[in-house]
Amino acid sequence: MESFYSRKKFLKLLALSAAGLGLSENIISPLFSQTSGASKMLKRKIPKTGEEIPAIGLGTWQTLDVDPDPSSLAPLKEVLSEFLHTGGGVIDSSPMYGRSEEIFGILSKDFSDAEKKKFFLATKVWIRGEAAGKSQIEASFKKMKAEKIDLFQIHNLLDTQTHLKTLRGLKEKGKIRYIGLTHFTTSAFAEMERISEKEKPDFLQIPYSIQTREAENRILPFAQEHGIAILINRPFEEGGLFRNTKGKTLPEYFKEWDCNSFAQAFLKYILSHPAVTCAIPATSKISHLKDNMGAGLGRFPEGKERKVFLSNLLDAMD
């Protein structure tokens, strides 16, 4: 397969025409909650309520799917502690992710009540049928040791209409606070928009990275227009972006934007889009967690600056 980065000229032209598409170059989004050079974690507002959540979250796919033995749990407890200490909150899981919900529940018992309140718990239902869906949802509450889950999402749009009914009932009872839809492919964007037009979810979770930027063309502007929060999965292309930066040095230009690593530059570009509420990179390593969290600090490019930022980033990876 042709390397993404070998198409440098095409991508640069595409970046200059597509980055920020649908946005005025002079827009400063009211969803930003941080000033330039700030030392606190960037927070974004959930459009439906105005509630603010940290803009860097933590995915759990593969990383929390471990055996519940002390040697496996200890480093994950350290990651979660550092996550909270550096201003994080959003934890995203799914029954699809093996034992991830269960492991989070086990680890959560070691946190104080005050610390537990800092977590914004998000998980998913991923099964067909009303009865099976209700059973899976109930199991998620038990596994995560949670009386209330902040965001319940329908994973990959599976049996959406059936599960929406169940989730709305739980929301009315105060068991969940927000309802969302997710998918990991850009080909699902049209269907996500069609469902969202009618059902008006609180959140959409979508793929978006410097390599996969289709979201800029339609679903991010759609979310802005309809007041829908956006979670970003696959921000590093499952590690693929780092294979393209191995042995390379981040140019001095990025220090202007408080970036100290390629990971921070990748995340800052994503978060610089005002429609993005939170990115959820997954990691089980404390060093990677600290690096990721640093992307939520400092300055972010806006408007035309986003195009220059992206162009320089693609150059650095060529």
Question: How many residues in the chain?
Answer: 318
Position 256 in a domain: no
94 three-state secondary structure: coil
Torsions phi, psi for 179 (to 5 deg)? -120, 140
Containing structural domain, residue 237: 44-246+270-300
Q: What is the pLDDT of residue 39?
A: 73
CA pair distance 223, 275, nearest whole angstrom: 7
Domain count, the chain: 1
User: Position 117: which residue type?
Assistant: K
Token couple for 156: 């990959």
**138-172: burial string, b at 16+ Cβ within 10 Å, e else:** eebbebbebeebbbbbbbbebbbebbbebbeebee
Output Rg (C-alpha) for the chain, integer angstroms: 19
Position 263 in a domain: no
Q: Quick check: 45 and 54 in contact, CB under 8 A?
A: no
Q: What is the pLDDT of residue 13?
A: 41
pLDDT less than 70: residues of the chain: 1-38
CA pair distance 248, 189, nearest whole angstrom: 34
215: CATH: 3.20.20.100
Query: What pTM did the predictor assign?
Result: 0.88
Residue pointed to by tokens 């979250």? 57
Beta-carbon contacts of residue 78 (< 8 Å; ≥ 6 apart): 286
Q: What is the pLDDT of residue 314?
A: 95
Q: Quick check: 214 and 193 in contact, CB under 8 A?
A: no
Position 146 in a domain: yes
Packing angle, helices 100-108 and 70-85, rounded to 10: 70
Q: What is the pLDDT of residue 38?
A: 55
CA pair distance 37, 298, nearest whole angstrom: 4
Position 138 in a domain: yes
CA pair distance 223, 130, nearest whole angstrom: 28
Position 275 in a domain: yes
Position 169 in a domain: yes
Position 182 in a domain: yes
Q: What is the pLDDT of residue 16?
A: 42
Position 258 in a domain: no
